[in-house]
Structure 1
Amino acid sequence: MLQRIMRLLSAFDEDAPELTAAQLAARSGLPLSTVHRLLAQLVAEGVVGRAGSYGYTVGARLWEIGELSPIALRLRETALPHMVRLYEATGENVHLAVLDAPTPRTATVLFAGRLTGRASVPTLGRGGGRHPLHTTGVGKALLATCDDAWLDAYLAAPLLPETTLSITDPAVLRAEVDTVRVRGYATTHGEMTLGNVSVAAPLGLVSDLPRAAIGVVAHADETLERRLAPIVVQAAKELTRALRQD
């Protein structure tokens, strides 16, 4: 039963936050009769909501439960003041992300929080969204926190490109991860979205929380890395200290 419910809920995504029962059946691979039965139960519990005459959405009860996760309740809430200071210093997008890694081959970046403004460069990142590790600044920062055996397993899977500038050569990515470990921050240059650059730093390990990183995404600028790196690294250190004192 739980597996069927998860297949149904996983059918929703950022491009399809509202789906009909028929669409949910097609996306989940479940029989339409099963989908109707599950939907009736999930709507009654508030886990799924109704949208119009035929549509369904993720329900408020599921969101409420999700907000009790340590990623939301502890990491994001503690990080918010530090993210605000980064935004005030840059006027650009500020991302907080964690490593979601059931296995190295399936590992991704999971965005735990985001601050943006009217003048900020458009990005694909959103709270709760997932992106590849090797094409994002926060992702590269997270890779730098993993040991070599884990990194070997991750690099054994194909590195798929997001743009023409994405790194797809495992040797090149490994060398860049080594650089991140030495200097303390990661960068991307149009590797997730053309015209955007990012600077990100990993947080230190914190008990009972996944590996995390904080970063800024901005318009391409030759001076950006030099200007942003020190304040992003400092923000990561201060946030780590705050979390360990929590």
Structure 2
Amino acid sequence: MERALTILAAFSPERPQMTLSEISRPTGLPVATAHRLTGTLTRWGALERDERGVYRIGLRLWEVAALAPRGVGLREAAMPFLEDLYEATHQNVQLAVLDGPDVVYLEKISGRSAVNVLTRVGGRWPAPATGVGLALLAHAETEVQERAIAGPLRRFTPRTITSGAELRRALAEVRRTGVAVSDGQVELVALSVAAAIHGPDDTAVAALSVVVPTGGLPAHAYVPAVRAAARGVSRALGAPSVRGAGRG
């Protein structure tokens, strides 16, 4: 089982499809072993193989992943509010959850005129560099916050938070204002405004964001819409702190 999972883990956005020999190299598996395991994974549907012998991830994994409690149920509750936020901004709108040191994106709505972003549904990104990640870390347990602050903090642009002290200040500011702003941390051309989504026990279970071009409207112009969307999803999930509040 562990070796089969190693094969699945070898696929990435940079390596979305591989031949058998290409699978063998990063996994360290002999070609014969890789052949046997890929055959099993293909029969189950975790992998698909084309007529050239090239493997890619199969749809069966998408079906299984959709059963994750932090996936489909959360996405269904959030979609009406994500759509409202998109209609209000016509920019990139995203939904993400915290998974270890990273955020994983569950949904993304983009328009043709929206700024290009590197994120994708199912993709990961280091939490401290993103608006959704800052929003989630600010409301995470102290142990989770301290691990993030201890680093290492990866640099993507000159504006990326790379010191623990700077991250600590940023998280305190998120708690003070209720929103997170990530300005040019991942790409200099993009600014993210995010807010946490709270679940039935009022803990932060996800975050949503709008990603807009830098040099356009200031971040505070998007804050009311982002806050309203996050409150709406939180209310749909039964968060006590927003129960009874109207949509909007």
Cα deviations by residue, 1:185-224 (Å, 9 ceiling, x for unpaired): 00011100111101000111346x9721000001013633
Is this contact kept in 2: 1:98–1:210, CA < 8 A? no
Q: Which residue pairs with 2:181 in the alignment?
A: 187
Cα separation, partners in 2 of 1:170 and 1:89, compared to 1, 3 Å? same
Q: Read off the aligned partner of 1:74 and give its amino acid letter.
A: G
Please say if 1:167 is aligned against 2:166.
no
What's the secondary structure of 1:81's corresponding residue? helix
Cα deviations by residue, 1:152-178 (Å, 9 ceiling, x for unpaired): 222222111011210101101100100
Please say if 1:115 is aligned against 2:118.
no
Q: Which residue pairs with 1:18 in the alignment?
A: 17
TM-score (norm 1): 0.92
What's the secondary structure of 2:222's corresponding residue? helix
Q: Which residue pairs with 1:97 in the alignment?
A: 96
Cα deviations by residue, 1:61-113 (Å, 9 ceiling, x for unpaired): 11111112223320111111111110000000001000002xxxxx1010011
Alignment of 1:1-246 (within 5 A): 2-101=1-100, 107-206=101-200, 211-221=205-215, 223-244=217-238
Count of residue pairs the alignment pairs up: 238
Is this contact kept in 2: 1:114–1:126, CA < 8 A? yes
Is this contact kept in 2: 1:185–1:199, CA < 8 A? yes
Whole-angstrom CA distance in 1 between matches of 2:27 and 2:165: 37
Q: Which residue pairs with 2:246 in the alignment?
A: none
Tell me how far 1:147 sits from its aligned partner: 2.9
Is this contact kept in 1: 2:197–2:208, CA < 8 A? yes
Is this contact kept in 2: 1:203–1:240, CA < 8 A? yes
Comparing 187-196 with 47-56, greater Cα deviation is found at 47-56
Tell me how far 1:47 sits from its aligned partner: 1.3
Question: Which structure 1 segments of 5+ residues have no match?
Answer: 102-106
Q: Read off the aligned partner of 1:78 and give its amino acid letter.
A: A
What's the secondary structure of 1:49's corresponding residue? strand
Is this contact kept in 2: 1:92–1:216, CA < 8 A? yes
What's the secondary structure of 1:203's corresponding residue? strand
Q: Read off the aligned partner of 1:10 and give its amino acid letter.
A: A
Cα separation, partners in 2 of 1:210 and 1:14, compared to 1, 3 Å? farther
Question: Would you identify which runs of 4 or more consecutive aligned residues in structure 1 move more than 2 Å?
Answer: 147-150, 221-224
Tell me how far 1:244 sits from its aligned partner: 2.0
Cα separation, partners in 2 of 1:172 and 1:91, compared to 1, 3 Å? same
Comparing 71-80 with 9-18, greater Cα deviation is found at 71-80
